[in-house]
A and B are shown apart, each in its own frame.
Chain A
Amino acid sequence: MSTSSDERLVHMANQIARNLALDDNPVAAVADHIRAFWSPSMIRALASLANAALDPVAAQALAQLAARAEVESG
């Protein structure tokens, strides 16, 4: 029983959020971590998942990344 790639992305993002929960600014820390280590295709794939069971911190970090990407491309 293997998980799908989508489930894996959600699991990975949630894991990062749980491990950075005690940071001074967890949302920014999660966003920075994902930005530094994930390929853009992985970030897009996670962002495109509707109703993903994302930890609230991970969800906010993802929104922050999307906003940053817009600023950079705009």
Chain B
Amino acid sequence: MRACDEVQGTLALTIEGRGFASKVSAGLASDSFLSSECVSCGACVQACPTASLQEKSVKAIGKPERAVVTTCAYCGVGCTFRAEMRGEQLVRMVPWKDGKANRGHSCVKGRFAWGYAQHQERILKPMVRDTIDQPWREVSWDEALGFAAARIHHVRDTYGRNALGGITSSRCTNEETFLVQKLIRAGFGTNNVDTCARVCHSPTGYGLKTTFGTSAGTQDFDSVEECDVILVIGANPTDGHPVFASRMKRRLRQGARLIVIDPRRTDIVRSPHIAADYHLPLRPGTNVAILTAMAHVIVTEGLADEAFIRERCDWDEYSQWAEFVARDRNSPEFLAPVIGVDAQSVRGAARLYATGGNGAIYYGLGVTEHSQGSSTVMAIANLAMATGNIGRRGVGVNPLRGQNNVQGACDMGSFPHELSGYRHVSDAATRALFEAEWGVPIDPEPGLRIPNMLDAATDGTFKAIYIQGEDILQSDPDTRHVADGLAAMECVIVHDLFLNETANYAHVFLPGSTFLEKNGTFTNAERRIQPVRKVMEPLNGLEDWQVTQELARAIGLDWNYTHPSEIMDEIARLTPSFSGVSFARLDAEGSLQWPVNDAAPDGSPIMHVDGFVRGKGRFVVTDYVPTDERTGPRFPLLLTTGRTLSQYNVGAQTRRTANTVWHQEDVLEMHPADADNRGLGTGDWARLASRSGETTLRVVVTDRVAPGVVYTTFHHPATQANVVTTDFSDWATNCPEYKVTAVQVAPSNGPSDWQQAYEAQAVQSRRILGREAMEAFE
């Protein structure tokens, strides 16, 4: 019970009965563990002093014989676990007490949702097909790689090198990501490489680099223990980053104050012993307006930390910014009708953040996935600089990264305009370094980003793509446009665990390995590089870095890495912020936070301590420019999207585990007033339509969302929430505007025509020769 109250902070457990008959139970007498507030984090199993609580798998498989410390592959918190093994079988995952990111805690995904590795739908043999209307043919690795290489060569010879490209995965290790971008830049000869971080945190890269000088969260997680005021904007930590949320909640129960800026009343707003001082339920799409209004209060009420600004920032830029935010049109009163939040609350929140002691901002994709995502990140950085909340413990600007290795994928040079360590491809000195190491010229011009690749594909100038561990068809916006782009290509190579939705359009499928089957490193949201260790042999035969190496060799590159540590050594040689990183040091120290170099030999838990990376911190004027996505008579509601605790992103992994017991389908949250207007009740089917497309799903009526706002998740391909999202994106980075779509909702009888056609096409394109007969027989 103490584990539940103090570590997890859910307070779900209680004691039922008295004396010898007493037992631990969840919530009310009528509750089972599934229906209760229990979030299945496993902390009670971990702490149980009598061993009466134990994982069922221990009983089923037997006592573990050995343990290997490794890093979880779900979210950007980067929990470390002891993978306890019996032979080649994983018995259980136990959170590692010495793990510096999780400090011995875990959540329902990392601790329990690893069964997908053995799921019957996992593909273990390479497959090819000439056209996507044919069934797949299982072939040898040699044949698949030869087939892929021939197509790549054909496309390059016919259309030129810029008709080729690829996508690295934030799910894969640093070493694998580095190899994929190297294959594309050095092997394909183009900078057309991007990463799924494009669709989540690319605005963080742009915004923090512009203001502070580097794309990185400023703090370690431990820093939260010294916060006095926590400002959460556009993030839902209890669902998206549960283990860090528990640490945040512990600090809040100790008395830290809380401001939440979110259109939806997320769980962090009110939970046992925690109540936000301010919840500002702003209208989706007005982040820049509300942050500028807060800056207005700070500047005009004399709450700015001028001593800090004079010492650390460019004073002229500050003065220009201060003059801008102080204008009347940026006051909370003037902006209240736009934001949808009363001016007094905005003023109160701004005063609390500026004067409440150590102020820390934590943000997520509710900040970045907007047409002003980059501006919002810069507005956050402005607020932190103006109040002196940078460069020590307890403060800072902290992007909560969605996937396990978003930070790492960005660090490794996955973006088309920059090489590892955030150095622009136009920088001749950096290029020279890579050219000397790789022995080939590097293109000095930026390549295409994911949405640009898809546009070029529909225009007929982009023909071949290698996609490692990402399902762009389900995860990227405007599904039909993605499908059209993929269908127009001559060579789509998907490297993944499962036949994901994107693979419906693929010609080559290269089976991937899970994080349990390979060596490498992940870098979490606090820039912490942590080892991923192989605990079992890859069922598909090769670790993912080996698959990429074999593809490189098939197209004629002479690559001979024998272990990922050699790839990390190459990264360290080429990347100043990684120069002190090696597998040997990671083994010795458990983890390292970059930069690790001569200036910071033991790494950097807190950034910008003695000054900003770029020199002087830069204030950037961020003018509120409304999104072009507007509500109107046809589409009067605003849709925003997000995630839930038990499922993970497109669900490729968690949908293939028992976690589906909590979230079997995506549902549409709707305010009672909007539901009444439309004659809809909880459980009814509704048609959700935007100018991009429509889908159907069931409604849940709730006042968690404001009138005029509806909300859903995107974990299930049958719902395909992204059929509805549009092609609008962040002005600076093309990060899609997932969080704002004008929609209409109406009662419906069941799946839309599109959903039915999609399902039929998916079944058709997943056929594997020789397997249909077997399945028919079964």
Contact = CB atoms under 8 A, between A and B. Distances in A.
Contact of A2 (B448, B480, B623): B480
For chain B, the bracket of interface size reads 35 or more
Contacts of B728: 11
Interface in B462-494: 478, 480-481
Contacts of A41: 162, 448, 456, 461
Contacts of A50: none
Interface stretch (B170-178, B342-350, B588-596, B731-739): B731-739
A12 B448 contact: no
Contacts of A21: 623
Given A2-B478, A5-B456, A22-B623, A42 B732 contact: no
Given A36-B417, A39-B416, A41-B162, A16 B731 contact: yes
B426 interface: yes
Contacts of A15: 371, 625, 628, 731
B207 to A, nearest CB: 12
Nearest to B462: A41
A3 to B, nearest CB: 6
A5 B372 CA distance: 21
Interface string A22-40: 1100000000010011111
A18 B625 contact: yes
B448 A39 contact: yes
Interface string B18-44: 000000000000000000000000000
Contact of B731 (A19, A22, A23, A42): A19
B455 A37 contact: no
Contacts of B424: 36
Residue of A21, A33, A37 contacting most chain B CB atoms (<10 Å): A37
Given A36-B446, A37-B732, A40-B445, A19 B372 contact: yes
Given A8-B455, A36-B417, A38-B446, A1 B732 contact: no
Nearest to B726: A2
B478 A39 contact: no
Contact of B628 (A1, A11, A19): A11
Nearest to A43: B445
A6 to B, nearest CB: 9
A2 B481 contact: yes
Interface string B287-331: 000000000000000000000000000000000000010000000
Interface in B251-269: none
Interface in B413-470: 416-417, 424, 426, 445-449, 452, 455-456, 458-459, 461
A37 B446 contact: yes
A3 B726 CA distance: 10
**Residue in A1, A16, A38, A39 with the greatest tally of chain B CB atoms within 10 Å:** A39
Given A2-B478, A19-B623, A42 B452 contact: yes
B699 to A, nearest CB: 25
Given A2-B480, A36-B417, A12 B731 contact: yes
A8 B458 CA distance: 13
Given A2-B478, A41-B162, A41-B461, A19 B625 contact: yes
Contacts of A11: 628, 728
Nearest to A23: B621
Given A36-B424, A37-B417, A8 B461 contact: no
Contacts of A42: 448, 452
A8 B324 CA distance: 31
Interface string B180-191: 000000000001
A5 B455 contact: yes
Given A19-B732, A22-B623, A2 B727 contact: yes
Contacts of A19: 372, 375, 623, 625, 731-732
A12 B480 contact: no
Given A1-B692, A37-B417, A41-B461, A18 B731 contact: yes
A33 B446 CA distance: 12
Contacts of B691: 1
Contacts of B324: 22
Contact of B732 (A3, A5, A33, A39): A33
B483 to A, nearest CB: 11
A12 B734 contact: yes
B446 A39 contact: yes
Contacts of A36: 417, 424, 426, 446
Give the interface centre of B192, B692, B731 by most chain A CB atoms within 10 Å.
B731
Contacts of A2: 478, 480-481, 692, 727
Interface in B369-393: 371-372, 375
A18 B445 CA distance: 25
A37 B206 CA distance: 11
Contact of A8 (B372, B727, B733): B727
Contacts of A23: 621
A20 to B, nearest CB: 9
A67 B473 CA distance: 39
Contact of B459 (A5, A22, A40): A5
A48 B449 CA distance: 20
B19 to A, nearest CB: 68
A37 to B, nearest CB: 6
A39 B447 contact: yes
A19 B625 CA distance: 7
A39 B452 contact: yes
Contacts of A40: 445
Contacts of B480: 2
B159 to A, nearest CB: 12
A39 B691 CA distance: 29
Interface of B: 162, 191-192, 324, 371-372, 375, 416-417, 424, 426, 445-449, 452, 455-456, 458-459, 461, 478, 480-481, 621, 623, 625, 628, 691-692, 727-729, 731-734
- Counting from the closest, the 8 A-B pairs by CB-CB distance are A5-B455, A15-B731, A19-B731, A22-B621, A2-B481, A18-B625, A40-B445, A1-B691
16 contacts: A5-B456, A8-B727, A12-B729, A15-B371, A16-B731, A19-B375, A19-B732, A22-B623, A33-B732, A36-B424, A36-B446, A37-B446, A37-B732, A38-B446, A41-B162, A42-B448
Interface of A: 1-3, 5, 8, 11-12, 15-16, 18-19, 21-23, 33, 36-42
Given A15-B628, A36-B426, 17 more contacts: A2-B480, A2-B481, A5-B455, A8-B455, A15-B371, A15-B731, A19-B732, A23-B621, A36-B446, A37-B417, A37-B446, A37-B449, A38-B452, A39-B191, A39-B416, A39-B447, A42-B448
